[in-house]
Structure 1
């Protein structure tokens, strides 16, 4: 038997041994149930506490004459559902990037995609004030793509090629540069207030029209990610194994990167600069369900949504009646996890 055939058989056995579909089904079922409960509790909490029963009434028996129903429908539900969508976006984007690059440190925030999208938003606020949200999303996609191209290009220029650590270092350097340029644009054009929300990160102020524009893009991208999940599993075993299984690796990587750009761009256009979701959630999911991305991607979407919904609730409960930015809450979990992974990766080099 040739080396290529041996690697292929070993890859198939690795997937079979290290996949736990029953655990994945349990996570999906329980995660969705807890997510629905979390959305209801989060929608009931705020400056005016509203019973969860009233939240259900506002959804299923909406009465426009009831003030509490108007608060739920116009302010809180868009915010909570926006957080759930954003969490799914970042988590699935991180899972795809980690699977395709075999880089445990891959995340849209760490690799410059979020900073690129934010930089493009700064340009939009400076030169095209009042631009409709649909166009803001499109420019966020372009900015995320610009960030990705620059990071991978800079990382590849180093002697020895593109390693996980070099990729993260290039992403960190580019993110700092793009954030500095964004802040310079904000100061020069006096748009600091407009950009303050994106710097801090948060879902406050999310509106229904934003969700209606975002949803088709996100639904299409996540459906595409699930369709590519088997191919991403092969790529996660290495390019040689993937080619031995008959996979056209370059096409899959191109399609996967397009999906990541859509997810990261859409999320940043709503929530701003929030990192580490795509780093933490895919790792946690792999520990629970194994290495098969047919389970990792949908479970990551559910757990990512749950993380952002609960983090947003915690941001409101931390120092009421004031709100702590979401971009502060999630890094409290993400930074220690990143340092642990970076140390582990360094030992393996």
Structure 2
């Protein structure tokens, strides 16, 4: 071999390094999208606020008008941050569930996770004297039960196929949503109106209390997902090969499902049944960074946060303004369903995965 000619091994190493840098750059780009979505959320509304005034309000400058300070710091900022956490949680939950079932249809909404969490949270919330942390805890348990029921119904000796999972998920989601509606209909307290919000998903009442409630679950779930990334990569090779490599397959599946339930349950407890975020975002993230969970999880987290913040702002102000209905606000769950629903139908018809 002549001097200066790289060996095949060194060329392969250089190619992998370039691919890693490209993926990291794309993840950074998702972060920039989130920053742009946050600016969009903080500046637009019935009162448009320039970016410099938003920055001044965030810095608590003395020369900022009190009205601007209240709008930015007490109304728009907590709502944007809660929306970012909801989008992050649902997206990473979708990534985990897709790894569990090895299918692109693994979405918290499709697989009954969100519906189970919503039902449990509704039952707890409509009780009297509910402790502050009881609702997300109940939503986590309900979300995990919903996922286990769907997986059990779809499972046979050959495994759980994509079609059976989709059908079981639709059936379980419809059943649990019916129970949730029944719980609300049988309740005469004012709190029932808050439960109706979950049925479509929205951030109408998002405040700092919701952010304080959500962020610990987000941190725990995200750390858990990243810790399972390498095991998820092995699981994606198939059960037999994964077992041959020493992976505890069922334990890994359970841990991934538990992480998904923590993330989806906390989102449901605050924002309700926001549809298809966990389906749409991982699909887009795979197109950007591939199927390696070490890159897919952070890309999905940032992209999901950006999507939810932008979608909520569009549903809150942009879409009503385009329709000449500035006095109303659309639930963000309707917008995500309109976008994600056709993608779900296409994936079911195509019957192919993006791994």
Partner of 1:4: none
1:329 pairs with 2:335: yes
Preserved contact between residue 125 and residue 194 of structure 1 (Cα < 8 Å):
no
CA distance in 2, matches of 1:32, 1:232: 24
CA drift of 1:25 comes to 1.1
1:189 pairs with 2:190: no
**May I ask how many residue pairs the two structures share in their alignment?**
330
CA drift of 1:160 comes to 5.4
1:293-339 CA-partner distances (Å, limit 9, x unpaired): 10000000011111101111110211123111111101111011111
Preserved contact between residue 33 and residue 303 of structure 2 (Cα < 8 Å):
no
CA distance in 1, matches of 2:100, 2:151: 13
Higher mean C-alpha deviation, range 336-345 or range 160-169: 160-169
Secondary structure in 1 matching 2:228: helix
Could you tell me the TM-score, scaled by structure 1's length?
0.89
CA distance in 2, matches of 1:61, 1:24: 37
Structure 1 unaligned runs (5+)? 1-12
Higher helix fraction (1 or 2): 1
Preserved contact between residue 184 and residue 196 of structure 2 (Cα < 8 Å):
no
Secondary structure in 1 matching 2:111: coil
Preserved contact between residue 40 and residue 56 of structure 1 (Cα < 8 Å):
no
Going from structure 1 to structure 2, the CA distance change for 1:200 and 1:296 (only over 3 Å counts) comes to: same
CA distance in 1, matches of 2:19, 2:296: 10
Preserved contact between residue 125 and residue 135 of structure 2 (Cα < 8 Å):
no
Partner of 2:303: 303
Higher mean C-alpha deviation, range 222-231 or range 193-202: 193-202
Preserved contact between residue 90 and residue 278 of structure 2 (Cα < 8 Å):
yes
CA distance in 2, matches of 1:346, 1:42: 36
CA distance in 1, matches of 2:61, 2:211: 20
CA drift of 1:246 comes to 2.2
Preserved contact between residue 117 and residue 141 of structure 1 (Cα < 8 Å):
yes
Once superposed, which parts of structure 1, at least 4 consecutive aligned residues long, lie more than 6 Å away?
none
Partner of 2:249: 249
Matches for 1:1-349 after TM superposition, within 5 Å: 20-63=19-62, 66-126=66-126, 128-156=127-155, 161-191=159-189, 192-316=192-316, 317-319=318-320, 320-345=326-351
Going from structure 1 to structure 2, the CA distance change for 1:38 and 1:139 (only over 3 Å counts) comes to: same
CA drift of 1:129 comes to 3.2
Preserved contact between residue 289 and residue 296 of structure 1 (Cα < 8 Å):
yes
Preserved contact between residue 123 and residue 185 of structure 1 (Cα < 8 Å):
yes
Higher mean C-alpha deviation, range 300-309 or range 239-248: 239-248
Partner of 2:4: none
Higher mean C-alpha deviation, range 28-37 or range 321-330: 28-37
Preserved contact between residue 113 and residue 264 of structure 2 (Cα < 8 Å):
yes
CA distance in 1, matches of 2:219, 2:315: 27
Structure 2 unaligned runs (5+)? 1-11, 321-325
Secondary structure in 2 matching 1:61: coil
Preserved contact between residue 105 and residue 168 of structure 1 (Cα < 8 Å):
yes
CA distance in 1, matches of 2:74, 2:214: 17
